[in-house]
Chain A
Amino acid sequence: MLQLPPKAAALLAFVLLAASAPAALAISADSTDPRAIMQAVEDRPTGDKSVGRMQMVIIDQGGSQRVRTVQTRMMEFPEGTKQLILFETPADVRNTGLLTVDYDDGAKVDDQWLYLPSLRKSTRISSSERSGAFMGSDFSFSDMASRSVADYDYTMVEQSAKVSGEDCWLIEARPRTDRAKEESGYVKSQVWVSKSKVMPVQSKHWVREGKKLKYMKFEEIRSVGGILVAHKISARTVSGKTALSTTVITFSDLRFGDSTVSDSDFTQRRLEQGL
């Protein structure tokens, strides 16, 4: 069973952005200003077009796995971002598609259409809350969404923290408003930002509901078209001493600035044609 979430398309676009950084960096390793560092993380240019495939493996407490595979296409346009997601697996949702137009203007409602092969038609769907689980995984919508740096207070916890030998800033982020807290779903977060890459390599989140903690890791960071990308992202949800579940996202066939991506990829016609 797969409940296709509103916002999913935008989130898949942003999961790439959140896990990527340009090879040329805009902040000094000596910086001690956590807000400036987080702003540099958010401001990374990531190319105006991309294509890729993503596999998501959700592993529950008993070790059983569920696998989702999707193809994605993304393109920036003057008002925001367009994204097309087509599901490859599991077999019962094959050819299900989601087309999203995500506007930079927060006051403008995003457009989203879902195509269900069983219905043979694409229907508009409404945007929804962001703290819910994304496709039944350990990632929430907000984990993958672009965040406004202004919505958080930042504290430098450790100027030089080591993650697998890599020098990082350890920064704590707390939502400044109830709305930001509600949208993120977290009371606070700690983010390890690589000084050499200016991108997160791991993070820890205190979940607002349910006395849970969430651990995320960004691994297999490689350059694609001059942009550093984490090809493997994992999230583990923990309650007390028990790991409840883990989700591992793997990217493949990633291409940035792909010339085959055009406006015609983000239409109802393309959505309904499927894989």
Chain B
Amino acid sequence: MLRRPIALLSLLVIALTAPPISQARADDSEDDGFDFGETPQVHVLVPAEPSPWAFTGFLRSDEAVWLERFKDNPLAKARQSLDLALSYKKGIIRLLLTGHGEYDLAYLAQRDSYDKPTLRAYEWQVTTREAFVALSLGRVELTAGRQIVAWGEGDALSPLDVVNPRDMREPGLADLDDLRLAVLATRVGWFRGAHRLEAMIIHESDFGYRPAPLSDYSPFRAVIDDNPIARDLIGDREVTWEHKQRRFALAQQEGLLRWVMKGAGLDAGLYLASVLDDQGVVSIDTADLADEKRVPIGLDHRRYTVFGHSGARSFGDFLLKWEAGVELRRPFTTGRLDDFDPDNPLASAAALSSLGHAAGDLLNTMLGLTYSGVTDLTLALEISKPWLLGDIDDLLIDASAPFIALRASYTTLRERLRLDAAFSMIGWKAELGWLIRAQATWAVRDALQLQAGVITYHPGDDFGPLTGLERHDRLFVGLRWDFQIL
């Protein structure tokens, strides 16, 4: 199963690292008859005094087609979005207010084929993102408001990055600017030289964006939508996620503490947090199934504790990163959806009713190696491996499966063109699936980028995050224009 992607990646790496054929060693006696000539006149754009205010933003247009659905509805995405950011910084005060709006025109075509929860999740959105005030008082910094804080060292994989919820609506496709979602929190940091000690209280229970249960990217769609028994059971009713936790509740606040040192030759961090599980364990209340209009699938976001360590150290052209975290009383969904059988109603009913939850301790580790020794090329490998500290029967998704992420990035043509390739795999033998994303980004001019790429999904034999993504390969293009008004 893995031969094809590995071969593709090998070819890509060879292609990226090979010198252009036209290159040749210069003869030092050569000359060209050129003289130094006049230096071109350029406009000096640097303003005399930077303003404490800044008003910036970007417009983005993202289009995609399903590669395997040309005869159905090939349009996968036509999302138009606008992001704005107003900031102020002077003396001890820093302010930031950002907002985001998006509309996906793809949902105007064959609109009846989408259920309402899918339209609510994907069609449009207007929201504030980060909105905070920060005060710097000597060694202390206080930040209050909606904010994003990144923990850990990993880029693609980071078991310790438990602070912010994420936009998981399109696995493997979210832009970096959209991936982490801001939460309402208060943060106090104490700084001394290379050291930072920081405490944070998250006041808001926000669990991020996820695919609607019957939307294209939901693993449950494969189980529910393609099964006549489940379809009959659901009928015309909406299938929705229902979070068991309220958005604001005193007892649900999350507490986080970290010490980070970024010093000579070594970065290190220690982390302790009591947080709610963003994923949530699935909880179906049979009484809710009697509702005439909707079928709610409960998500219970239970509290667990995590403590861990991270580090990074460079060795010449190599950068080594690592994380290790122990998660105590981590909640897991249990059940045997593999037993779902369209021809066996009893087995299917038993599978559905088998969904439950359990708690267990988990040791989660990450090891990453980045190589940047070839001009304009960066190769990065990250492997995350969890270990269950004890036995839990009938885990819905294998909690000890490793994640492997391999990325290559190459810039050329004076950094006008960047080529990226990313390969991700779940399970040592891709038992839970794998995906490849490759894209090219062309800088049309300053702050205007054109992007084109392809992503291919290959679900594994076992139930996992990529289950049901058999016909989801996409060709995508995008245009992004960044601007500064003030």
Residues of A within 8 A of B (CB): 1-3, 6, 53, 55, 57-60, 64-67, 69, 71, 88-92, 94, 101, 108-109, 111, 113, 116, 118-129, 131-133, 135-137, 187-188, 202, 204, 206-213, 215, 217, 219, 232, 234, 236, 238-241, 243, 245-246, 248, 250, 252-253, 263, 267-269, 273-275
Task: With both chains docked as a complex, state the minimum distance between the C-beta of A112 and any C-beta of chain B, in angstroms.
Answer: 8
Q: Is the CB of B26 within 8 A of A128?
A: no
Q: B449 contacts the other chain (Cβ, under 8 Å)? A: yes
Task: With both chains docked as a complex, state the minimum distance between the C-beta of B85 and any C-beta of chain A, in angstroms.
Answer: 9
Q: B391 contacts the other chain (Cβ, under 8 Å)? A: no
5 nearest A-B pairs in the assembled complex, by CB-CB distance: A136-B415, A121-B150, A91-B482, A1-B443, A92-B482
A241 cross-chain contacts in B, Cβ below 8 A: 32-34
In the complex, which residues 21-37 of chain B have their Cβ closer than 8 Å to any Cβ of chain A? 22-28, 30-34, 36-37
Which of B28, B189, B262, B317 is A206 in contact with, Cβ under 8 Å? B28
Task: Indicate with 1 or 0, residue by residue over B371-397, a CB within 8 angstroms of chain A CB atoms.
Answer: 011111000000000000000000000
B442 cross-chain contacts in A, Cβ below 8 A: 1
Q: Is the CB of B314 within 8 A of A126?
A: yes
Distance, CA A64 to CA B444, complexed state (A): 10
Which of A120, A187, A239 is B148 in contact with, Cβ under 8 Å? A120
Which of A94, A211, A217 is B26 in contact with, Cβ under 8 Å? A211
Q: Interface-forming stretch among B101-109, B190-198, B213-221?
A: B190-198
Which of A188, A209, A240 is B25 in contact with, Cβ under 8 Å? A209
Task: With both chains docked as a complex, state the minimum distance between the C-beta of B322 and any C-beta of chain A, in angstroms.
Answer: 12
Q: Is the CB of A94 within 8 A of B56?
A: yes
Distance, CA A204 to CA B194, complexed state (A): 42
Q: Is the CB of A1 within 8 A of B415?
A: yes
How many B residues face the partner with a CB closer than 8 A? 79
Q: A55-B44, A269-B191 are in contact. List 7 more A-B contacts (CB 8 A).
A: A111-B264, A116-B176, A124-B267, A124-B313, A132-B375, A136-B415, A187-B26
Q: Is the CB of A126 within 8 A of B30?
A: no
Which of B23, B45, B177, B373 is A129 in contact with, Cβ under 8 Å? B373
Distance, CA A206 to CA B28, complexed state (A): 6
Q: Is the CB of B414 within 8 A of A245?
A: yes
Q: B69 contacts the other chain (Cβ, under 8 Å)? A: no
Distance, CA A187 to CA B442, complexed state (A): 32
Q: Is the CB of A109 within 8 A of B316?
A: yes
Q: Is the CB of B196 within 8 A of A207?
A: no
Q: Is the CB of B148 within 8 A of A124?
A: no
Q: Is the CB of A124 within 8 A of B415?
A: no
Distance, CA A153 to CA B136, complexed state (A): 52
A124 cross-chain contacts in B, Cβ below 8 A: 262, 267, 312-314, 319
Q: Is the CB of B23 within 8 A of A109?
A: no
Q: Is the CB of B370 within 8 A of A126?
A: yes
Task: With both chains docked as a complex, state the minimum distance between the C-beta of A201 and any C-beta of chain B, in angstroms.
Answer: 10
Q: Is the CB of B23 within 8 A of A64?
A: no
A250 cross-chain contacts in B, Cβ below 8 A: 42, 44, 46
Q: Is the CB of A90 within 8 A of B319?
A: no
Chain A interface, DSSP helix/strand/loop, else mixed: strand
Question: A127-B317, A187-B26 are known contacts. Are A57 and B441 too (CB-CB below 8 A)?
Answer: no
Q: Is the CB of B26 within 8 A of A206?
A: yes
Q: B484 contacts the other chain (Cβ, under 8 Å)? A: yes
Distance, CA A108 to CA B315, complexed state (A): 10
Q: Is the CB of B39 within 8 A of A219?
A: yes
Q: Which residue of B lies closest to A207 (CB)?
A: B26
Q: Is the CB of A126 within 8 A of B317?
A: yes
Distance, CA A111 to CA B265, complexed state (A): 6
Question: A126-B317, A128-B372, A273-B89 are known contacts. Are A210 and B443 too (CB-CB below 8 A)?
Answer: no
Question: A127-B317, A211-B30 are known contacts. Are A232 and B446 too (CB-CB below 8 A)?
Answer: no
Q: B120 contacts the other chain (Cβ, under 8 Å)? A: no
In the complex, which residues 1-56 of chain B have their Cβ closer than 8 Å to any Cβ of chain A? 19, 22-28, 30-34, 36-37, 39-40, 42, 44-46, 50, 54, 56
Question: A90-B447, A94-B484, A206-B30 are known contacts. Are A58 and B36 too (CB-CB below 8 A)?
Answer: no
Distance, CA A267 to CA B26, complexed state (A): 43
Which of A6, A127, A219, A267 is B193 in contact with, Cβ under 8 Å? A267
Distance, CA A113 to CA B26, complexed state (A): 35
Which of B58, B376, B418, B449 is A132 in contact with, Cβ under 8 Å? B376
In the complex, which residues 43-82 of chain B have their Cβ closer than 8 Å to any Cβ of chain A? 44-46, 50, 54, 56, 58
Q: B146 contacts the other chain (Cβ, under 8 Å)? A: no
Q: Is the CB of A92 within 8 A of B449?
A: yes
6 A–B contact pairs at CB < 8 A? A2-B415, A126-B317, A206-B30, A211-B26, A250-B44, A267-B191
Task: With both chains docked as a complex, state the minimum distance between the C-beta of B453 and any C-beta of chain A, in angstroms.
Answer: 14
Question: A1-B416, A111-B265, A219-B39 are known contacts. Are A66 and B30 too (CB-CB below 8 A)?
Answer: no
Q: Is the CB of B150 within 8 A of A3?
A: no
Q: Is the CB of A89 within 8 A of B446?
A: yes
Distance, CA A183 to CA B24, complexed state (A): 17
Distance, CA A273 to CA B27, complexed state (A): 48
Distance, CA A274 to CA B153, complexed state (A): 20
B27 cross-chain contacts in A, Cβ below 8 A: 211
Q: Name the residue in B32, B56, B155, B443 with the highest tally of chain A Cβ atoms < 10 Å from its Cβ.
A: B32
Q: Name the residue in B176, B446, B484 with the highest tally of chain A Cβ atoms < 10 Å from its Cβ.
A: B446
Q: Name the residue in A3, A187, A213 with the highest tally of chain B Cβ atoms < 10 Å from its Cβ.
A: A3
